[in-house]
Structure 1
Amino acid sequence: MKIGNYKLAFTALSTGLLGSVLLSLVKLLESDPRTYLITYLICTAGVILGWLIGILTTPYDAADQKKLENFSKMVGTFLSGYVLSKFDRVLERVINPEHEMSELFALRTLLFFCFFGLSWIVVFVFRQYAD
């Protein structure tokens, strides 16, 4: 990393700081170590999925893009079939007024997407701007 490449340094510092703050808040909100572990694993799943999507959406060059297109097609087929069929049930539960969403579920969902977004941003910026 070049010293003059402030985009990389700022991205790494800001996402690291934000991720640490989010995990610290979770630790304060959850007193039971078992529920904290589950929430931590959900955050980790968000990071891993964000990393994977970040790699798939930012190829280095044409050769990398060709390889990633084949993998993207395979993942897209899986997502369009199995995952979307299950997503309908989740959406029904969220929208249905009879099923009240628990605070813990809402917290874990938001954390998943926060960590997904943070890791996607890091991978995108480093793959686009690193020399």
Structure 2
Amino acid sequence: MFPTSTRFLVVDDFSTMRKIIKKVLLELGYTNVQEADDGKTALPMIQAAHDAGQPFEFIISDWNMPGMQGIDLLKNCKMDPRFKSVPFMLVTAESEQKHILEAAKAGVSDYVVKPFNSATLKGKLERCWAKHNSPVTKTA
């Protein structure tokens, strides 16, 4: 699993969903969790944290948000060499195959369909850890 010091950014326009995700992360021992209410707010936060030498190490974002959607935030992050390797999880009600394929093509680390429980989120975090720490990923 990711170290408990991992810096998370949770992006969702629905404050209750941010609180739910943050609560699950806290239950898993993660205390360094910041929030943003959409991609338009999140992107400058991601850039500023990196520039300050305290980059986010994991981004969890909703797909459907005003301003900038999660898929666009994902694409922006994956196009920027500074954030390309940051694990990025989309949490969404979008379960259609075309959305899952679009997210995979954009470089999403994992995909959680709402509603979900803490065991599901924990399992997805473990999968992301394994994916981002495999020898194949490290040499790529």
TM range (shorter): under 0.3
Larger helix proportion of the pair: 1
Between the two structures, name the one with larger relative contact order (CA 8 Å, sep ≥ 6): 1
TM-score, normalised via structure 1 length: 0.25
TM-score, normalised via structure 2 length: 0.24
Larger strand proportion of the pair: 2
